[in-house]
């Protein structure tokens, strides 16, 4: 399929390919796809889009780039995005100092119709398999981190390519299952967050492996634990000293003599230097912790677009999406369902006459 000089696709154009509309038009056929494993949801089917298009021509908030660790461009979709965005994208990527596998970083879109590019590094399938590690958790992290960083930067519409399925060797069907399952779980968590009025700065994280896994909204436990410790310390300080608080005789250390109490100038200097150094280290650690603290979410994901390039990838998603996003309209009828219904509705009454086979007539005189 050629995308040379294809027109820019706006969000309005893309909404023609929501799962709801694909089901209604018959382009997405649940009867020939994998059976549903999640309950139907009209909300999610309106939020998810499947389209075969050139990702560099999407006029949306953010497109996701299946990048390498350097973030400086490569082959496939990575090279196509860098080529279309221009030198400005490469210059900004130089300042990001690369990206680790399973993580994501964001830049401007530059010459692209999209406002932003989210760069994520997928796992190299065979390397992790050879080392006895499961690459699935890293691939799931690519989708979660990309959606998280989109929300922190005001991106409501996000398009994903097929991550790690090219030269990184991830089997297409397994990658598509991880992608669709993770997106469904993320949207579930986001909806739950809205219903229960959770704060926007509460991160969304994953909670383990397995078919039935969910991505749930969790609070910042470190802050909660810190407050509990501080309250306990205050209560402890306010209590009067008790006899039982004295150190038992057997637990005392060596006796300190008057000579031991005397300090040489060198010892005092060393102690002062140690304290100063320790203070600097603590301040440095605090600064690092402040830098590592993620900014809050400022929006919610409204549209997730699975943007595929190859026909085989489109077929995979058409087969897998109905499993995690089944049709919500009970009147939707797939091709196999239609054939089965027509077979049942075909009249088979006993009064029907069967055609009689005609016998050949005898020719006289022979």
Residue 307 lies in a domain: yes
User: For residues 171 and 193, what is the distance between their CA atoms, to the nearest angstrom?
Assistant: 33
Residue 45 lies in a domain: yes
Helix (H, G, I), strand (E, B) or coil at 65: strand
Structural domain total, the chain? 1
Helix (H, G, I), strand (E, B) or coil at 296: coil
Is residue 181 within 8 A of residue 139, CB to CB? The reply is: no
Q: Phi, psi (5° rounding) for residue 30?
A: -70, -20
Can you give the pLDDT of all 366 residues of the chain as single tens digits?
544 568 999 999 999 999 999 999 999 999 988 899 999 999 999 999 999 999 999 999 999 999 999 999 999 999 999 999 999 999 999 999 999 999 999 999 999 999 999 999 999 999 988 888 889 999 999 999 999 999 999 999 999 999 999 999 999 999 999 999 999 999 999 999 877 765 544 544 443 344 444 444 433 334 434 444 455 555 555 554 444 444 444 444 444 445 444 444 455 555 555 544 555 555 555 544 545 678 899 999 999 999 999 999 999 999 999 999 999 998 887 666 666 655 767 665 555 555 555 665 655 554
- What is the per-residue pLDDT for 50? 99
CA dihedral 193, 196, 200, 202 (to 10 degrees): -70
Residue 21 lies in a domain: yes
- What is the per-residue pLDDT for 285? 58
Residue range(s) defining the domain that contains residue 83? 9-220+299-324
Residue 319 lies in a domain: yes
Residue 182 lies in a domain: yes
- How do strand 116-121 and strand 104-108 relate by DSSP bridges? antiparallel
Buried-state track 276-311, b at ≥16 Cβ within 10 A, e below 16: eeeeeeeeeeeeeeeeeeeeebeeebebbbbbbbee
Tokens for 21? 């509309």
Residue 54 lies in a domain: yes
CA end-to-end span of the chain? 68
- What is the per-residue pLDDT for 129? 80
Residue 158 lies in a domain: yes
Is residue 134 within 8 A of residue 210, CB to CB? The reply is: no
User: For residues 251 and 366, what is the distance between their CA atoms, to the nearest angstrom?
Assistant: 131
Angle between helices 87-94 and 76-85 (to 10 degrees): 110
In order of 100, 124, 134, 153, the CA distances from 130 in angstroms are 19, 10, 10, 37
Residue 247 lies in a domain: no
CA dihedral 120, 156, 21, 211 (to 10 degrees): 50
Backbone Cα Rg of the chain: 32
- The DSSP result for 205-239, as a single string, is EE---STT--EEE---HHHHHHHHHHHHHHHHHHS
- What is the per-residue pLDDT for 130? 80
The CATH number for 32's domain is 3.40.220.10
Vertex 225 angle, CA 219 and 227, to 5°:
105
The 8-class DSSP code of residue 330 comes to T
């Amino acid at each position: 399929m050629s995308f040379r000089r294809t027109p820019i696709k706006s969000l309005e154009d893309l909404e023609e390919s929501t799962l709801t509309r694909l089901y209604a038009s018959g382009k997405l056929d649940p009867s020939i796809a994998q059976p549903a494993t999640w309950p139907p949801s009209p909300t999610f089917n309106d939020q998810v889009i499947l389209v075969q298009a050139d990702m560099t021509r999407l006029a949306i908030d953010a497109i996701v780039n299946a990048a390498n660790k350097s973030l400086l461009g490569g082959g496939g979709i990575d090279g196509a995005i860098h080529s279309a965005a221009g030198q400005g994208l490469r210059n900004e990527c130089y300042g990001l100092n690369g990206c680790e596998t399973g993580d994501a970083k964001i830049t401007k879109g530059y010459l692209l119709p999209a406002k932003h590019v989210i760069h994520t590094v997928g796992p190299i399938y065979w390397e992790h398999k050879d080392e006895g590690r499961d690459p699935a958790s890293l691939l799931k992290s690519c989708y979660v981190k990309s959606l998280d960083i989109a929300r922190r930067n005001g991106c409501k519409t996000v398009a994903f390519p097929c991550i790690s399925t090219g030269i990184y060797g991830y089997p297409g069907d397994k990658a598509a299952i991880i992608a669709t399952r993770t997106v469904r779980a993320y949207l579930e968590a986001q909806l739950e967050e809205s219903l229960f009025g959770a704060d926007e700065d509460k991160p969304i994280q994953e909670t383990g492996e397995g078919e039935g896994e969910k991505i749930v909204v969790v609070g910042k436990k470190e802050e909660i634990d810190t407050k509990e410790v501080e309250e306990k310390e205050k209560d402890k300080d306010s209590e009067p000293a008790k006899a039982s608080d004295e150190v038992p005789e057997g637990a005392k250390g060596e006796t300190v003599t008057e000579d031991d109490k005397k300090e040489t100038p060198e010892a005092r200097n060393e102690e002062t230097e140690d304290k100063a150094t320790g203070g600097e280290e603590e301040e440095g650690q605090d600064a690092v912790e402040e830098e590592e603290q993620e900014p809050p979410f400022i929006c919610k994901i409204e549209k997730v677009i699975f943007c595929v390039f190859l026909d085989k990838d489109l077929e995979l998603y058409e087969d897998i999406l109905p499993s995690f996003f089944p049709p919500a309209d009970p009147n939707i009828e797939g091709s196999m369902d239609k054939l089965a219904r027509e077979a049942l509705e075909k009249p088979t009454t006993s009064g029907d006459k069967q055609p009689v086979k005609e016998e050949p007539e005898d020719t006289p005189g022979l």
